[in-house]
Structure 1
Amino acid sequence: MNILDKIITRKREEVMLAKSQVSVKELAAAVNFNRETYCFKDFLLDKKCTGIIAEFKRRSPSKGIINDTSTVEDVTTAYSAAGASAISVLTDYDFFGGHADDLIKARAVNSIPILRKDFIIDEYQLFESKALGADIVLLIAAVLSPVKIVKLTETAKSLGLNVLLEVHNLTELQRSICLGIDAVGVNNRNLDDFSVNIQTSFDLVDQIPNEFMKISESAISNTDTIKKLKAVGYNGFLIGENFMKTTDPGAAMGHFVSELISV
């Protein structure tokens, strides 16, 4: 059993427990559930923003602890101030050290879209995401059937949530892309050995229909890479570890953006 299998096995247990503790009706009564979600596309394509989806991430299965001292409020508000188009917040605890409260805290202090970064396998998690204050949900093609992706997308859209479909290769892209999703994210990380290769994004960009926003994820650590990705058609760039591995992630993003916009 690889790490992804372990994560999904654990996630099924988590969802089952959550369903027994909090009903969908109770989720729908949450304060954030009735807020109007931000339109991901409006922010991602806004020329005043950077296209960067800046991630708050404490640890990962491959790297262990990345940053367990910075607070979600401080980091995400600094990301927003630096020009982030959106914020990604990990809510998986067992493997990434995240928590649902992290998203609630980030929502309370930010006025840009927030992506709930987790392993969505059940419609219940979409209602949960809306209640937490998420604007965008991640659907990972590697762990979902095409039929399930369509069903989850339909439910997400009915709740006003934006959908980011994540793929790792051409096979996943071709079998999973469907109407209703807002963006396709190409994850440059190999899920079998966790190695990264930015070439994956360059190989797949022309295979993604232009009706969808195109996002490159992982393996982005310098501004030259973003400039090259923009040149071939990418609209967004998910960056987390590059900022989070520093003592001041917000300042790290600020320096990165300064370099990105310099002539």
Structure 2
Amino acid sequence: ECKKASPSKGLIRKDFDLLEITKTYEKFASCVSVLTDSKHFLGSYENIKIVSQHSTKPVLCKDFIIDAFQIKLARMMGANAVLLMLSVLDDKNYLELFNLAKSLNMSALTEVSNKQEIKRLLKLQYDIIGINNRDLHTLTTDINNTLKLRSLLPKDALVVSESGIYSHAQIKALAPYVNGFLVGSSLMKEKDLKKACVKLILGENKVCGL
């Protein structure tokens, strides 16, 4: 994830060289998430354009999306997917935005963080499900939230664990239950991003060529 700052940690990466970050992620990521919220994350939609022009990976627009304009702008800037949070959208608005994304040939990462949101989700349409390990009220994280909520979802669901991923050990523990991980702060805080990616994905083992 390309994240300069966050509400819980403030400024995370002072030297936010988006081109260098994109270049590094090209070797390790399956998808690149770009924060576009300017107030809380110091992001911008222009950053989507920069990343999409310099990466072969799909680009996710990560924002508090509540309006169709945001999705259209993200698509215009080159995003391939958008984050839709059930914590900020009611069912009607969610479906409208989900269908808009699909009409623009975009995927949707639908985020849930508790059992109530999963109950809603299972009655709605979805592509990829993101389980947020962060309590949005206290801003604390607990990766066990992924384990608790994953069992409530269909076995064939495509699931991503979000927030609170800091170590290879956590990746190994959650890997049997999910299809991917959304990692931002733990990578952005490291000066040597390439080394941080290798350590997160492969552990402490040294691998030739990386």
How many angstroms apart in 2 are the aligned matches of 1:80 and 1:108?
12
Corresponding residue for residue 180 of structure 2: 236
Q: Which residue of 2 aligns with 1:70?
A: 16
**CA deviation after TM superposition for structure 1 residue 72, in Å:** 1.0
| 1:131 Cα deviation after fit | 0.3
Note the 1:12-27 alignment, pairs <5 A: none
Q: Which runs of 5+ in 2 are unaligned?
A: none
1:260/1:80 CA distance change after superposition, 3 Å: farther
| 1:254 Cα deviation from its structure 2 partner | 2.6
Task: For 1:262 and 1:229, locate their aligned partners in 2 and report how far apart those are by CA, in whole Å.
Answer: 22
Q: Offset at 1:92?
A: 0.6
Change (3 A) 1:230 1:69: same
Cα distance in 2, alignment partners of residues 259 and 77 from structure 1: 21
Q: Per chain length, whose mean CA-contact separation is higher, i.e. which structure has more relative contact order (CA < 8 Å, sep 6+)?
A: 1
Q: 1:225-262 CA distances to partner (integer Å, 9 max, x unpaired)?
A: 1112122x200101111110011323311332232888
Separation in structure 1 between the aligned mates of residue 4 and residue 85 of structure 2, nearest angstrom: 20
Which has more helix, going by share of residues? Answer: 1
Partner SS, residue 84 of structure 2: strand
Determine what percentage of the aligned residue pairs are the same residue.
Answer: 35
Return the offset for 1:187.
Answer: 0.5
2:12 maps to amino acid:
I
Asked if residue 183 in structure 1 is aligned to residue 128 in structure 2, the reply is yes
> Alpha carbons of 1:251 and 1:260: their partners in 2 closer, same or farther (altered >3 Å)?
closer
Alpha-carbon distance in 2 for matches of 1:208, 1:242: 27
Once superposed, what is the RMSD of the aligned Cα atoms? 1.8
* 8 A Cα contact 1:185 1:214, kept in partner: yes
Q: In the alignment, which residue of structure 1 is the partner of 2:56?
A: 111
Equivalent runs, 1:214-233 vs 2, <5 Å = 214-231=159-176, 233=177
CA shift in 2, pair 1:225/1:70, >3 Å: same
Q: What CA distance in whole angstroms lies between the structure 2 residues aligned with 1:179 and 1:142?
A: 14
Find the counterpart in structure 2 of residue 128 from structure 1.
73
1:172 aligns with 2:117: yes
Change (3 A) 1:117 1:186: same
Moved beyond 3 Å, runs of 4+: 177-180, 260-263
In the TM superposition, what is the alpha-carbon distance from 1:62 to its structure 2 partner? Answer: 1.3
TM-score normalised by structure 1 residue count: 0.75
Partner of 1:247: 191
C-alpha spacing 1:205/1:260, structure 2 compared with 1 (3 Å): farther
Cα distance in 1 for residues equivalent to 2:91 and 2:111: 12
When residues 159 and 193 of structure 1 are mapped into structure 2, their CA distance, relative to the original with a 3 A threshold, is same
In 2, the alpha carbon distance for the partners of 1:168 and 1:102 equals 27
2:110 alignment partner, SS class: strand
TM-score, normalization by structure 2: 0.93
Aligned to 2:137: 192
Shift of 1:126: 1.3
Aligned counterpart, 1:59: 5
Q: 2:162 and 2:205 mapped to 1: Cα distance?
A: 20
